[in-house]
Amino acid sequence: MQQQQPQPQPSPKPKKKIRVPRVVNGVEQMVEIEVDEDTGPGWGPNDKHTLLNHKITRVDGPKKVTGMALYTYDMRLPGMLYGRILRCPHGHARVTKLDTEAASKLPGVKAIIQGPLTELRFAGAPVAAVAATTPEIAGDALRAIKVTYEVLPHVVHATDAIRPDAPKVVAEENNLQEKAKNGDLQKAETAFATADAIVEGEYFSQRVHHACLETHGMVVDYRGGDSASIYASTQGTFTIPGDAAKELGLEQSKVIASVEHMGGGFGSKFGIGIEGMFACRLSKQTKSPVKLMLTRYDEFVMAGNRSGSWQKLKAGVKNDGTIVALTARQYRLGGIGQGSQAGQPYIYRMGDTYREVYALHTNEDSSIAMRAPGHPQASFAIESLVDELAYKIKMDPVAFRKKNLRDEVYHRQLDRGAKEIGWSRRNPVAGGNPGPLKRGMGCAVGTWGGGGNNQCKVDVTILQDGAVYVAVGTQDLGTGTRTYTRAIVAEELGIGMNDVEEHIGNSKLGAANPSGGSTTAPSLSPSVKDAAIKARMMMAERVAPLLGNPKPEEVVFSGGNVSANGRSITWKQAAAALPAAGITSHGVWRADLQARGVHGVSFAEVEVDIETGFIRPIKMVHIQDGGLPLNRLTMESQINGGMIQSLGMAFYEGRVMDAQLGMQLNPGFGDYKLPGSLEMPEMVPIIDDDDKREAVIGIAEGCIIPPLGALVNAVFNATGLRIRDLPITPDKILMGLMNTTVISRG
């Protein structure tokens, strides 16, 4: 018997190591991974696409406007119970007794569980949770629970918490914790002697809420047995099964997470959270489905917020516009958390620099990631300082920024934005225009990473009848993931958007990264592209006999036809040549199809009524690059959204804390002011098509960073008042006009 010869094995592909971002709880971390060196077909020139880089209507739009889109909040399951959370009313307290006897006797109450902590370090911290047959009965049960607290000293304002005699937020730790020191203080101090002008100031940015329209929460469908289904409002489909399985005592593979649609996250929704932990434990105890969605009050007091900041900056400048030195002391105000803040001098070239970074704790809910974590805070302070330096030496703020920015992309974008806003109309002297209604303009710049990673696995299936499916477990936060996933496949196969159907948002499908750090598009789209290319090549091999046996790469898919060698068949005819089960390709991430690093520039014009202090935004312009725009309509929407959220942070939003009670005074949309339709200025989103990179880069974070500084600087140009404490409300304008010490004149 002849011995069978071993088949030759393909040579391993050459590898290379690269650094990519991974998002953990909304915060970007850089890790090293190994990828293939060789590549395949790329995206091609940005201006040569048939679907991508065009304005594409969102495919889920009809479902959302008709109310057919299913959110976690919409889930109604047979026998479902409703969960509610009891919160601590004190700024700092210890639970000494929890009496649930009366509450447990209420008809309809099915379970009561105590929270994991007995020492509660902020007002709103969870104490216990209830499951009942209706939300109203659950609310009655919360009111019937009797809690005995040992009330402890608290502190909620940073300027109080930094004092040596301040109450300790954590007994065994100091409120002030050093996190980093960079640069040479002696060199910086020496360099100040060479400056022609020096500006020194303290800059405060407030803690703002994510204000997600759908609150945090989950529906846990566990009825005993060895499996469970979780419906979660989450930014990471695959962040749910592991933690939920631990709480339910199940194998992770037996827990399926679903997130068909979700109502906003902005960095706040990763993992199951305390609300998910309660929902799992209540479901396990009752062996019934439990829906626990936070109330709006809950959302404000215990679901996290953007870190505040307190920054002490000093910079020196020469008369030619060269910044020679900077010293910075930065405090991250994260409540009981660590806070976040990018290091100074952010993206500017400032000669000899030195910075110290601290976390300063207060008895407030922990800050968590929020769109561009730590960047708006740092950008606001440095952009204010840069503006002050420019005015100090009487140099145009645009020219001054170009002088101190190495990257020429910013120069191009600054010129483009200045032209669009009409920069030549700005006040050469701040506050110099006559009358009570004073207009002014400001500008600012920003940056972000926006690269992808190798976590996405995508399947593309083509059936004999011509149906095409693209499947991956990723979530769509409302940012257009469904649409571009479908568009990439449709363009690659030369068919229409409606000829492709996407399946997403379920942990049974291919793995995907959590949506944070603007990593979703550059992580997912290369994997979708790879799967679509492979599907096209597989189909080309099958139809080759019908087209004169061309090489697969010679077969053209376009306009709903498949062509080669002067022959053409329709898509349906080509699909009929497939096997009965159709074909399925498996796509993986390709580093060459994405890139990292975006630039953005914002301009703003405002009108300030110096008799009332009222600020009216007039116009905002933001120019943003991002390589290949997958969908121009969505990219413009992201730019607009960034400008709107910055508008809120600049003029309207902020937690109001009572120092004595240690609690938030405005935990609801009635008192927490968000910009509405009446506050909207003219908004001009500009996609920087001079960026010729043929790669996908995430841009959502970048869009929220510079508009804040532009708005603040516009107020100064209008009034001559340099307000360093956000938000800029009418009282601060009026107090500044009266020369109070709260606000300094520029």
Q: What local confidence, expressed as pLDDT, does residue 1 receive? A: 47
Q: Are 454 and 617 in contact (CB under 8 A)?
A: no
* Element at 190 (helix H, strand E): helix 185-192
The confidence band for 23, taking pLDDT boundaries of 50, 70 and 90, is confident
Q: What local confidence, expressed as pLDDT, does residue 129 receive? A: 98
Q: What is the tens place of the pLDDT at every residue in 375-423? A: 999 999 999 999 999 999 999 999 999 999 999 999 999 999 999 999 9
Q: Are 240 and 269 in contact (CB under 8 A)?
A: no
DSSP string of 387-410, one letter each residue: HHHHHHTT--HHHHHHHT---HHH
Query: How far is 189 from 196, CA to CA, in rounded Å?
Result: 14
Q: What local confidence, expressed as pLDDT, does residue 6 receive? A: 58
Of the chain, the percentage scoring pLDDT greater than 70 comes to 97
Torsional class of 662: left (φ above 0), alpha (ψ -120 to 50), beta (otherwise) = left
Torsional class of 566: left (φ above 0), alpha (ψ -120 to 50), beta (otherwise) = left
Q: In order of start, what are the domains of the chain with their CATH numbers? A: 15-70+452-591 (3.30.365.10), 75-152+216-293 (3.90.1170.50), 308-450+595-745 (3.30.365.10)
Identify the weakest region by mean pLDDT among 29-38, 128-137, 222-231: 29-38
Neighbouring C-beta atoms of residue 345, cutoff 10 Å = 23
Q: Could you give the residue ranges of the DSSP H alpha helices within 516-581? A: 520-543, 571-576
Amino acid (1-letter code) at residue 215: T
Neighbouring C-beta atoms of residue 103, cutoff 10 Å = 21
Q: What local confidence, expressed as pLDDT, does residue 192 receive? A: 98
What backbone torsions phi and psi does residue 354 show, to the nearest 5 degrees?
Answer: -150, 135
Q: What is the tens place of the pLDDT at every residue in 533-547? A: 999 999 999 999 999
Mean pLDDT of 22-37: 85
Q: What is the tens place of the pLDDT at every residue in 349-374? A: 999 999 999 999 999 999 999 999 99
Neighbouring C-beta atoms of residue 745, cutoff 10 Å = 14
Neighbouring C-beta atoms of residue 389, cutoff 10 Å = 23
Q: What is the tens place of the pLDDT at every residue in 516-527? A: 999 999 999 999
CA dihedral 90, 94, 97, 102 (to 10 degrees): 30
Please state the length of the chain. 746
Q: Any bridge partners for residue 311, and if so which?
A: 203, 330
DSSP 568: E
Of the chain, the percentage scoring pLDDT greater than 90 comes to 92
Query: How far is 493 from 249, CA to CA, in rounded Å?
Result: 45
The candidate with the shortest Cα–Cα distance to 492, out of 512, 519, 470, is 470
The confidence band for 9, taking pLDDT boundaries of 50, 70 and 90, is low
Q: Kindly report whether the peptide bond that precedes residue 345 is cis, defined as omega within 30 degrees of 0.
A: yes
Query: How far is 211 from 296, CA to CA, in rounded Å?
Result: 9
Distances (CA, A) of 590 to 33, 36, 58, 523: 12, 8, 26, 9
Q: What local confidence, expressed as pLDDT, does residue 746 receive? A: 31
DSSP 108: T
The candidate with the shortest Cα–Cα distance to 373, out of 725, 627, 29, 620, is 29
Q: Are 592 and 16 in contact (CB under 8 A)?
A: no
Q: What is the tens place of the pLDDT at every residue in 461-500? A: 999 999 999 999 999 999 999 999 999 999 999 999 999 9
* Structure-token pair, residue 47: 């201006």
The alpha carbon of 646 is separated from its chain's Cα centroid by a whole number of angstroms, namely 13
Tokens 């700092």 found at? 92
Q: What local confidence, expressed as pLDDT, does residue 317 receive? A: 98
pTM: 0.95
The candidate with the shortest Cα–Cα distance to 261, out of 516, 72, 76, 509, is 72
Tell me: pLDDT of 325 over 50: yes
Q: What 3-state class would DSSP assign to 157?
A: coil
Query: How far is 433 from 428, CA to CA, in rounded Å?
Result: 9
Mean pLDDT of the chain: 95
Q: What local confidence, expressed as pLDDT, does residue 8 receive? A: 59
* Structure-token pair, residue 579: 């096997």
Q: What local confidence, expressed as pLDDT, does residue 742 receive? A: 40
Query: How far is 683 from 705, CA to CA, in rounded Å?
Result: 16
Position with higher pLDDT, 614 vs 2: 614
The confidence band for 244, taking pLDDT boundaries of 50, 70 and 90, is very high
The confidence band for 745, taking pLDDT boundaries of 50, 70 and 90, is very low
Q: What 3-state class would DSSP assign to 338?
A: coil
CA dihedral 463, 466, 467, 472 (to 10 degrees): 60
The confidence band for 16, taking pLDDT boundaries of 50, 70 and 90, is confident
Half-sphere exposure of 687 (CA within 13 A, CB side): 23
The confidence band for 740, taking pLDDT boundaries of 50, 70 and 90, is very low
Q: What local confidence, expressed as pLDDT, does residue 435 receive? A: 92
Q: What is the tens place of the pLDDT at every residue in 696-727? A: 999 999 999 999 999 999 999 999 999 999 99
Q: What is the tens place of the pLDDT at every residue in 623-651? A: 999 999 999 999 999 999 999 999 999 99
Q: Are 297 and 663 in contact (CB under 8 A)?
A: no
Distances (CA, A) of 41 to 34, 367, 373, 385, 557: 20, 43, 35, 46, 14
* Structure-token pair, residue 238: 């695959």
Distances (CA, A) of 387 to 321, 715, 720: 11, 12, 12
Neighbouring C-beta atoms of residue 153, cutoff 10 Å = 12
The alpha carbon of 340 is separated from its chain's Cα centroid by a whole number of angstroms, namely 14
- Specify the pairing of strand 583-587 against strand 458-462: antiparallel
